[in-house]
Structure 1
Amino acid sequence: MRGKRTATGAALVAGALAVTGLVFAPTAAAVTPQSAAINATCGFFGGGTATLTATQSGTSATFTLTSSAVKAPVAVAKDSITSKLTLVRASGGTAVFSGTTNPAMNAGDPVSVGPLSGTVASGDSLEAYGGSLQMTIFGVNVTCTATAKQSPGPFVFD
Structure 2
Amino acid sequence: MRSRSTLGTVAVLTGALAAAGLAFAPTAGAVSPGSATATYDCGSWGGGSATLTATQSGTAATITISSSVTTPIAVGTDTISSTLTLAKGGGGTRVFTGKKNPARSAGQSVIMGPLSGTVASGDSLNSYFAGVALKMVIFGVTVNCDAVTSQSPGPFVFS
CA distance in 1, matches of 2:42, 2:115: 18
Output the aligned Cα RMSD.
Answer: 1.1
The residue correspondences of 1:31-46 to structure 2 (distance < 5 A) are: 31-46=31-46
Aligned length: 157
Runs of 4 or more above 6 Å deviation: none
The residue correspondences of 1:5-154 to structure 2 (distance < 5 A) are: 5-67=5-67, 69-130=68-129, 132-154=133-155
CA distance in 1, matches of 2:149, 2:120: 25
Q: Which runs of 5+ in 1 are unaligned?
A: none
TM-score of the two chains, using structure 1 as the length reference: 0.95
Deviation at 1:46, TM superposition (A): 1.4
**1:68-88 deviation line (CA, Å, top 9, x unaligned):** x21122111111111100010
Q: Secondary structure at the match of 2:27?
A: coil
**1:74-125 deviation line (CA, Å, top 9, x unaligned):** 1111111111000101110111110101111111111100111111111111
Deviation at 1:10, TM superposition (A): 2.1
CA distance in 1, matches of 2:72, 2:137: 12
CA distance in 2, matches of 1:27, 1:87: 25
CA distance in 2, matches of 1:86, 1:28: 23
Counterpart residue type for residue 10 of structure 1: V
Counterpart residue type for residue 40 of structure 2: A
Identity score, percent: 59
**1:112-149 deviation line (CA, Å, top 9, x unaligned):** 00111111111111011115110000001011111111
Q: Which runs of 5+ in 2 are unaligned?
A: none
Counterpart residue type for residue 5 of structure 1: S
TM-score of the two chains, using structure 2 as the length reference: 0.94
CA distance in 2, matches of 1:12, 1:121: 39
Q: Secondary structure at the match of 1:134?
A: strand
